Amino acid sequence: MDSSFSSIVPAPQDPILTVYFASRDDPSPVKLNLSGGSYRSEEGKPLVLQAVRRAEQQLANDMSRDKDYLPLDGLAEFNKLSAKLILGDESSAVKENRVVTIQCLSGTGSLRVGAEFLAKHNQERVILVSNPTWGNHPNIFSLAGMSVEYYRYYDPKTRGLDFKGMLEDLGAAPSGAIVVLQACAHNPTGVDPTLKQWEQIRQVVRSKSLLPFFDNAYQGFASGDLESDAQAVRMFVNDGGECLIAQSFAKNMGLYGERIGALTIVCTSEDVARKVKSQLLLVVRPMYLSPPIHGASIVTTILKNSDMYNDWTVELKGMANRILRMRKQLNEALQARGTPGDWSHIIRQIGMFSFTGLNEKQVRFIAKEYHIYMNYDGRVSIAGLSSKTVSQLADAIHAAVTRMA
Ligand code: PGU
């Protein structure tokens, strides 16, 4: 039978998904997928936090709860508590009622709603993202109709921040352009500016009237501490200027599949905030009507119960510390093997990932010979390693570096 879709060509392959499928279809019993950014326990399993289990038990036992639609902007209490988590208890922007927060579908959904809003209401179409950045950023913003450009960020020579290049590129951006800044634990490089550098970035952003859009997908995963990881964002909010923040609970509460996050827009006045909110709701309604209830209820339960909140922060610190141990073990394992090169960046880098410096040929070799899957840009999820698999990865890297130089 004729198909209405017969003229459709296959979509170009997404690099992260290509690796995911290759790993899924590999029958090897020792295969290890380190491509995606999801945390694994020492046993190599996805981890459901105890605080989340407790919250879900409590919700299941509460017979007064129903499954009615949430309002377009989501669960009001969730929005309030999420804004507090990133902006802090004492945020004057919150006290002055110039902060709008709406519940969205995790970090991606928050970025997308923000992008649609900006495409419609920001005069300047240019949006700058770091080079490199999370692969979905350019898609999200260009599909919303914006013009994506890159600012220098990573210097492969130093495996650190190209701070001078970053400031130059931000300084040369058109006034009113949007600049996407990853709040902490930069994906994919694992390289974050210092607080002193953030202050200089803030000065350039403000003096050029750029509009910062923070991607806050990893709060708590950089330092293990929610407050420390919020410092960069708060620096910008505390100067009284405007910004957007896309917040995700996928990583820090392990709620990946619940798709729970929030978009916050900090405005200069209550009046502006009111208008902004009314327009945000117009973005949401034709897109998905209203957000889902379960993840928002879990997060709210944890954030408002001091006992569960404390449990959560301990577990979060535990995850961050385990990642640090894996970094240390991997670095030691490479040293023990005498692997050529300097691997200290594995310890210096921050967050879930290490940007190893391996090239695509080496990554493909490792997948073929060692059944370990990582992204073609050399990004490896340290959060997916365990003490048992560190030596497997070290063997693979050693072989790739010595045989595929
Ligand atoms: N922002 C950044 C910087 C991210 O790294 C991610 C997820 C998100 C936002 C969105 O996460 P949500 O789950 O929507 O809250 N990055 C993962 C996702 C895997 C993928 O398919 O890209 C990663 O491995 O990079």
Candidate from 19, 40, 108 with most ligand 1 atoms within 8 A of CB, to mutate: 108
For 235-271, what is each residue's pLDDT tens digit? 999 999 999 999 999 999 999 999 999 999 999 999 9
Task: Pick the closest to residue 150 from 134, 120, 158, 159 (CA basis).
Answer: 134
Please state whether the predicted TM-score (pTM) of the whole model is above 0.95. Answer: yes
For residue 18, what are its two tokens? 């290509």
Mean pLDDT, to the nearest integer, of 72-100? 97
Whole-number Cα distances in Å, 243 to 99, 135, 256, 265: 10, 22, 25, 6
For residue 324, what pLDDT is reported?
Answer: 96
Task: Report phi then psi at 13, rounded to 5.
Answer: -75, 135
Same fold, 15-48+317-403 and 69-304: no
Distance in Å, CA 37 to ligand 1 centroid:
7
For residue 15, what pLDDT is reported?
Answer: 76
Mean pLDDT, to the nearest integer, of 310-337? 97
For 107-154, what is each residue's pLDDT tens digit? 999 999 999 999 999 999 999 999 999 999 999 999 999 999 999 999
Distance in Å, CA 2 to ligand 1 centroid:
38
- Tell me: domain 69-304, CATH 3.30.70.370, correct? no
For residue 254, what pLDDT is reported?
Answer: 98
For residue 242, what are its two tokens? 């405007």
Residue 39: pLDDT above 90? yes
Q: Taking CB atoms and a 6 Å cutoff, what residues make up the pocket around ligand 1? A: 16, 36-37, 106-108, 134, 136, 182, 187, 215, 217, 248, 250, 256, 261
Distance in Å, CA 315 to ligand 1 centroid:
21
Active-site residue list:
134, 215, 251
Signed CA dihedral, 167, 116, 351, 223: sign only: positive
Candidate from 134, 251, 381 with most ligand 1 atoms within 8 A of CB, to mutate: 134
Domain regions of the chain by residue span: 15-48+317-403, 69-304
Distance in Å, CA 36 to ligand 1 centroid:
8
The atom of ligand 1 lying closest to the CA of 248 is 15
For residue 16, what pLDDT is reported?
Answer: 77
Distance (Å, whole) CA 56 – CA 169: 46
For residue 368, what pLDDT is reported?
Answer: 95
Buried b (16+ CB within 10 A) or exposed e, 195-230: eeebeebbebbeebebbbbbbbbbbbbbbbebeebb
Record: fold of 15-48+317-403? Aspartate Aminotransferase, domain 1 (3.90.1150)
Task: Give the number of other CB atoms < 10 A from CB of residue 403.
Answer: 10
